[in-house]
């Protein structure tokens, strides 16, 4: 059988996978002694306490009694999570550094504590003094809000296994915690897996809601093993540009509510404030009298947004004209320009073309094709679109305009906001079948 070295403390009996000068449990120095153990026996011994509590029951005999979810203090957040925070559930929230994860979670912790529930905030990145300063600014200080600043998992497990465990545990972040029952440095795959496994298992057993903060990679994906996303009940991503005032909370996985939901926040002095009606939030102070702008009714998740698409066509002095796109995939711009040159017989060989999505938002909706085409043509002819015009639709390689998902909610939202004319495929009175018909309808004066 394979063997390995385990270091046991002669003072308190704690074990560590590697030698340390100080015992991680009792703090005594030079008390760790090496012992040779068999890996298979160690695995069985570690698994035996957990196997004793599992029971096999017929599914129809399982009790349906469960605790009701409790509120986060933000009704809009409760709605997208599925009526609030479910006791015993595990939620994972990710986002770039400085995007507002800790601020949002501290606001939730304060609201839950003010409601009379016990909250424990574990921070591996900030001191308790820093947490208190931020909590005072956010008005989140409450009698039931406790905190601990540590990077050791064993410092928080006794509080969970106490006779009165907290109702909500916030771990900021899972990459900063270490477990003596796993090898590796903090943030490694083995440590993240071990820490998350132990926390989720204990919280489900005692009925504590667990909120895990996860770091992201440079590609925007949650760092660590992919298994972490499968272990939790809900996966949330906080997105946005740190140079902008808005943040978008997106739900990718939810066992207790709908998926692909979206919530828009605005950064303020008092923390993250929910934008009640984000339908026109990203338009800003738009001037419809200028050419090269178009409004698209985009859909993200199940929520429609009115977003401005801007384009600038100017004379080029370069051998190869420049094509730049911000807020969407630039390959979409290259494709649409090729379709315009082919189907409308336009010559873009001597012009630079720049396009962007207004408000700093990033749009991946294929329905923005028609608005992007209209904005490019508006700047090319230097003719502004009608003041309350709105467009959506997908443009294929033949220049045909195709319907997109969410047509009904786009149309109802556009009518509610008073947009007219509405250019979209799907039976509307101004429905353009091709980009040629769109050109003839909007730019007859050219």
Work out the percent of the chain whose per-residue pLDDT is above 70: 91
∠ Cα 86 211 135 (to 5°):
110
Model pLDDT, residue 189: 83
Maximum alpha-carbon separation in the chain? 90
Separation of alpha carbons 69 and 234, rounded Å: 14
Predicted confidence (pLDDT) per residue in 383-402, tens digit: 999 989 999 999 999 999 99
Model pLDDT, residue 54: 66
Q: Which two tokens stand for residue 322?
A: 């420049």
Region 33-50 average pLDDT:
58
Q: Would the pTM of this model clear 0.85, i.e. be above it? A: no
Binding residues: 95-102
Separation of alpha carbons 201 and 81, rounded Å: 21
Query: How many Cβ atoms sit within 10 Å of the Cβ of residue 226?
Result: 8
* DSSP per-residue letters across 190-216: HHHHHHHHHHHHHHHHHT-EEEEEE-B
Residue 356 near residue 327, CB atoms below 8 Å: yes
What is the total residue count of the chain? 446
Residue 180 near residue 186, CB atoms below 8 Å: no
Q: Is the pLDDT of residue 329 over 90?
A: yes
Predicted confidence (pLDDT) per residue in 141-191, tens digit: 999 999 999 999 999 999 998 888 999 999 998 999 998 888 888 888 888
Q: Is the pLDDT of residue 308 over 70?
A: yes
Binding residues for ATP: 95-102
Query: How many Cβ atoms sit within 10 Å of the Cβ of residue 386?
Result: 12
CA atoms within 13 A of residue 67's CA, in its CB half-sphere: 15
Q: Which two tokens stand for residue 155?
A: 């410092």
Q: Is the pLDDT of residue 4 over 50?
A: yes
What torsion do the CA atoms of 56, 59, 64, 68 make, to the nearest 10 degrees? 80
Region 230-234 average pLDDT:
91
Residue 419 near residue 389, CB atoms below 8 Å: yes
Residue 355 near residue 284, CB atoms below 8 Å: no
Region 198-227 average pLDDT:
84
Region 101-118 average pLDDT:
93
Cα–Cα distances in angstroms (integers) from residue 209 to residues 102, 131, 257, 340, in the given order? 17, 21, 16, 54
């Amino acid at each position: 059988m394979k063997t390995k070295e385990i270091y046991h403390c002669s003072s308190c009996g704690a074990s560590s996978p590697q030698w340390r000068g100080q015992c991680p449990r009792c703090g005594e120095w030079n008390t760790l002694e090496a012992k040779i153990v068999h890996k298979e026996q160690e695995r069985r011994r570690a698994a035996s306490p957990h196997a004793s509590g599992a029971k096999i029951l017929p599914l129809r005999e399982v009790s349906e009694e469960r605790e009701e979810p409790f509120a986060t203090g933000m009704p809009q957040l409760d709605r997208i999570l599925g009526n609030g925070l479910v006791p015993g559930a595990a939620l994972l929230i990710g986002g770039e550094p400085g995007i507002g994860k800790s601020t949002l979670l501290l606001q939730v912790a304060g609201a839950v504590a003010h409601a009379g529930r016990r909250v424990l905030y574990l921070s591996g990145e900030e001191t308790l003094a820093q947490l208190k300063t931020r909590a005072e600014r956010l008005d989140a200080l409450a009698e039931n809000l406790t905190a601990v600043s540590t990077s050791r998992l064993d410092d928080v497990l006794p509080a969970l296994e106490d006779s009165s465990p907290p109702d909500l545990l916030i771990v900021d972040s899972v990459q900063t915690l270490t477990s003596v029952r796993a090898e590796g440095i903090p943030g490694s795959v083995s440590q993240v897996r071990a820490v998350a496994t132990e926390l989720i298992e204990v919280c489900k057993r005692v009925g504590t809601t667990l909120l895990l903060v996860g770091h992201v990679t440079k590609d925007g994906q949650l760092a660590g093993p992919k298994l972490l996303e499968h272990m939790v009940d809900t996966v949330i991503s906080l997105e946005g540009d740190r140079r902008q005032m808005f943040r978008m909370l997106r739900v990718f996985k939810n066992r207790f509510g709908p998926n692909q939901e979206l919530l828009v926040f605005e950064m303020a002095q008092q923390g993250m404030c929910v934008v009640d009606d984000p339908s026109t939030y990203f338009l800003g102070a738009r001037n419809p009298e200028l050419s090269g702008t178009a409004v698209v009714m985009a859909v993200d998740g199940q929520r429609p947004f009115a977003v401005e698409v801007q384009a600038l066509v100017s004379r080029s002095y370069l051998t190869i004209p420049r094509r730049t796109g911000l807020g969407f995939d630039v390959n979409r711009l290259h494709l649409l320009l090729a379709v315009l040159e082919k189907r409308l017989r336009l010559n873009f060989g001597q012009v630079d073309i720049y396009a962007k999505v207004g408000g700093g938002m990033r749009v991946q909706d294929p329905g923005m094709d028609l608005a992007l085409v209209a904005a490019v043509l508006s700047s090319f002819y230097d003719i502004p679109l009608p003041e309350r015009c709105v467009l959506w639709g997908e443009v294929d390689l033949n220049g045909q305009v195709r319907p997109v998902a969410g047509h009904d909610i786009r149309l109802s939202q556009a009518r509610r906001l008073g947009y007219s004319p509405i250019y979209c495929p799907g039976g509307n009175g101004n429905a353009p079948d091709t980009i040629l018909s769109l050109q003839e309808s909007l730019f007859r004066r050219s």
